[in-house]
Structure formats: C-alpha cells, structure tokens
Structure 1
Amino acid sequence: MVLFGTLVNGLCIILGTLLGLFFTRIPDRFKETIMNGIGVAVLLIGFQMAFQTSSIVVVLLSILTGAILGELFHLERKLNNIGSWIENRVKPKQGSTIAQGFITATLIFVVGAMSVVGALDSGLRGDHEVLLTKSILDGFVSLVLTTTLGIGVVFSVVPVVLFQGTIALLATNIEQWLPEVFLSGFIVEMTATGGLLIVAIGLNLLNITKIRIANLLPSLLMVGFVYYIYQLITL
C-alpha cells in the first residue's frame, strides 16, 4: 500500500496531540524550557540537513526565488488566515494559539528530508521505513508542541497527509520522467534547502528571529527548476 507510511504518520501526530492535551497544565517555566529544547534540537536537525548540499548556488538561488514567490503570493498571511479560520470555528478560550500551533507544526512536519525522501521511498520502492521512523519522531514532537501551543497542532495532519501522499503517488511513475542521477542530486539539494527552512523554524522557536517561514516554502518547489538549469549550465 503506497500510502501506508503517510497514514501512519498522520495517526501518530493525532495520538501525540491527544496525549499532549493531558499535559497542558504544566507550569509555564517547564513549557518555556521544553520549547527551548525543541528549538535547539530543530536547529541541529536543520544544520545537519543543510550541510549535505553539493552546490550552495542551487540552494541559494532556490531560497531567493522561493522567497520572492512567497512574498508575491503572501503565503504567510494566507496560512495565518487558515489558522484563524480554524480558531474561530473551534471557538477556543481567550489566549488560544491554534493558528500558531497549526503553522508551526505544519512547517516542522512537512519541511524536511524525511517527508520527501520517505514519500519517495514509499512510492518508488514500497519501503515505508523512513516514514515510519518519522512517524515516531512526529508523535513525540506533536505531544510536546501541544503542551505549549495547544490543539492547533492536530490540524497539521491535513497538509502532512496531502503533501506526503501526493509525492508518494507521483513517485510511482517518477522514474519514467526523471533519470536516476538527476533524481539523486535533486533529493540532496531539496534536503539542504529544506534544512535551511528547518533552521529558520528553530530560530523562531527560540524567539531569536521572526522569519516569515511560510513565504520561503516555494523554495522547495524551485529546487527542481534551479537544479535542472544548473545541470544544463555545468555539464
């Protein structure tokens, strides 16, 4: 089943969120320290991914062109509007962070090598090991995020399943469209570009910066175009 790993991933996020709801009353100082710990760990993951690049030019151009597209389409504002719409429908208590929880969890769970590589493995080889490993990690992260950001974390299941499921389904035929050498290089640069976005998430979690990360998401789409042009120029 091509979507097995993706569905398990979504289920683990839901379970982690439900468990996290039981720990929302812990003292604020615990929540702050836990969130700082997550932020530091996210930074480490992001740097590890970013350092895998074989061409910093591809990563840089992908980030720049993606940022321009993100700002043109106001993706950050639109994602915030979606979170606010969900918040209004759920009618939470005053001071709720549903929108923040939705956006933060979505970016953490969707932007990363494991999402892309795991979905490709599911589609290309029927191997769900990467996504199953990611499911366990996401379950724990969703539990901790829920203790500080609330129920909004659970709504990240929708973009996670749609994103990974689409890649897995498309990957069943991707080898007919792309040479294996190009695909391998593309995954490396996608991983590195995603790693920089993960670093940005970590910086925001630590309140060091206020980067509009959602406006950088088109960078992941631009990697393919930039890498293809780069290959034509350098070959």
Structure 2
Amino acid sequence: MPNAYSRALKAHDNNQEGIRLQKILAQAGFGSRRKCEQIILDGRVEVDGELVTELGARADPSKQEIRVDGSRVRLNPNHITLALNKPRKVLSTMDDPKGRYTLRDIVGDKYERIFHMGRLDYDSEGLILMTNDGELSQHVMHPKYEVEKTYIATLQGRISGNVCRRLVSQGVQLDDGWIRLDHCAIIDANHDTTLVKVVLHSGKNRIVRRIFDAVGFPVKRLVRTQIGPIKLGDLKSGSYRVLSQTEVRSLAKEVGL
C-alpha cells in the first residue's frame, strides 16, 4: 500500500508541480539524468523522510528536504563556493583599513556577500575556501566537524623521522594546550631544510608554525594544499575557481550536511 508521501508525490506529478527528482539530482551534481534515475530506482532517495522510488516523483527543493544515501541534497542557484590559492603577503580578509592586499583584490566584487571559510596567516599560502552559503561556512569552520587540512611545510634544519613520529603519537605542548598531528611525512631533505607533508584537524591560528617552532624547526614556507575533500591541485597562485556541484556536495557531506 502506498504511503501518504507517495500519494502526495503522485498528486504533485499529476498537477505538474515541483521538479522531477532526477532533474534535481542532476543539477546537484549526482551525474547524468539517466544515472540519477537509477539512483532513485535503487531506493537511495528520500524526500521529507520518506523513501521515493518512482521516476515520476516531483519535489520542491526550496520547501522539501531531499536526501541521497542519507546526505542532504543542497540546491540553491544563488550559492557559490570558490577555491582560492592565496599568495604570501595577502590578508585573509575582504577589507583592510591599511590598504594591504586582501582576498577581495583577487575575487573582486563579482560575487555578492561572499566570505572566506577560515584563514591563512599573512606569510602562508595555498588553499582558502570562500562561499556565500552561510550554513556551509558555519559547518566547515565549526570545531565539532574537525575538517582535515593538509599542508606542505619547508622547515629550517633537518628534521628526523623520529620527530615526525613523535608529533603524531605524542604531540607537543603549546601555550594553549597539547596538539598532535594526524600525519607527518618527510618528502625531501638537505643539510639546511626539510620538506614535510603534515595533516591535522585543528584550525587554531598559526598552528603548524607553532608546532614546529616548539620542536626547534621553524617553518620557512607553508602551503595549504587540501581542506577536507577539496584539493588545491594546479590552481595558480593568486587565482581562484568555482567548485563543481559534486565538490560542494562532498564538502557538505564531510561536515554533516
């Protein structure tokens, strides 16, 4: 026997109200229309908590909650999310009273109400995410979700594998408490410097620099290469790109949306 929601969806379909579910899923980055039809037939889609397996089903994404495999489908044509490669000597802000170079000088005023999700210090470079989606930004920056961040750091001096392992297994005590790296691997080294890849969840100010200062290997250069599932890739310094719906969906899933 069809449930109440299935009957309501049929009524929607008969009245040509709402948007066909496969079209909504395609617009949200789940693949081609045909692939999205299969997702529905496979029983992976819920609307307002009810399973939907009918290809004729329609829904209103502005009024109804649509989920695929338990993750919410977020579809707002006015939302935009950017990946930006911040150069050194650029402030992680949109405006500076002293007239220094900011993120606004890179993205301009093309996108209304866009803001950055987290920061990089003035001398660091690499990936910054920006959006005008307040809910997404709140989740990405909230400590509860502990989004993983990856950095490539050039250290002064030659660090040993033992130090890296200790930073992962034991951590180091800073002024604001103990902190551990999730991952630390030496990429290259010479007599004067060491190149390391580090991964951690903390978003505290200058955290990577403070960690290596504490063990006697100051950071000479720091590049953030990944935030959650979003990678810097070959994005040139001082440029940005718009994230695809698939990328935004993967980021949203990472932070519980």
User: Which bracket does the TM-score occupy, shorter chain normalised?
Assistant: under 0.3
Structure showing greater Rg: 2
Output the TM-score relative to the length of structure 1.
Answer: 0.26
Identify, as 1 or 2, the structure richer in strand: 2
Output the TM-score relative to the length of structure 2.
Answer: 0.25
Identify, as 1 or 2, the structure richer in helix: 1
